[in-house]
Amino acid sequence: MSANLIPLLWEATLQTLWMVAVSSVLGALGGLPLGVFLATSQRGELLGAPWINKILGLVVNATRSVPFIILVVAIIPFTRLIAGTSIGTNAAMVPLTLAAIPFIARLVENAIREVDQGLIEAARAMGATPLQIIARVLIPEALPSITLGLTLAVVSLIGYSAMVGAVGGQGLGDLGIRYGYQRFMPEVMAAVVVILIVLVQLVQSLGEWIAARVDRRAPRNRVL
């Protein structure tokens, strides 16, 4: 591989990291509260709002059912409205964030529903309000599962960030397509794949480590 391509790989890696980092943060900011609400708003639950729950559930399911590459193309007018353009790193963050929010919401919902209902009933018996139960019981108990869910979301976004290269997004996917595919440079494609694998492994390992650290049920020597 030519030494001239190394700066391009470095720049593309930084672009991918930037896209994934920003969309992960924005996705978590939208997905976490949405997931908590979905997990606590069915009939008879803490925030009991079944009709709103059903409507939001339909929206989440509809968004998740659309293949990512189709979502990117379908929301190009919205992307232009938000980012001022439909190509480049900033534009790619819009579909990445929209894909991340419902994905994270469902992961958070599932994590919270796994919490022992006896803990909720005990907190209710002690006079805790719904918001107190959510903040002091549900979220702390579900935190390891939420952390693993966020890790899965970030890993998925790394893959999605490569897809946006096919429609004008920058980053490793764009570099692999322009050089590895269109210019018949398999060494570039191989380098892009290796970098993506390394990024996924690093994110997965970090997420599992954090999940073990925040798991109050785990013995301390398990996470050392």
pLDDT in tens, 63-113: 988 999 899 889 989 999 998 888 888 889 999 999 999 999 999 999 999
The secondary structure of residue 224, as a DSSP letter, is -
Q: What is the domain extent for residue 28?
A: 5-222
Confidence of residue 53 (pLDDT cuts 50, 70, 90): very high
Output DSSP code: residue 196. Answer: H
CA 166/CA 69 separation, integer angstroms: 9
Residue 20 makes CB contacts below 8 A (sequence gap 6+) with 96, 154, 157, 158, 161
pTM: 0.89
Torsion of CA 125, 127, 131, 137, to 10 degrees: -50
Give the DSSP per-residue string, 22-46. Answer: HHHHHHHHHHHHHHHHHHH-STTST
Give residue 222's pLDDT band: very low, low, confident or very high (50, 70, 90): very low
What is the domain-level CATH number for residue 119?
A: 1.10.3720.10
Mean pLDDT of the chain: 88
131: how many CB neighbours lie within 10 A of its CB? 11
The total domain count for the chain is 1
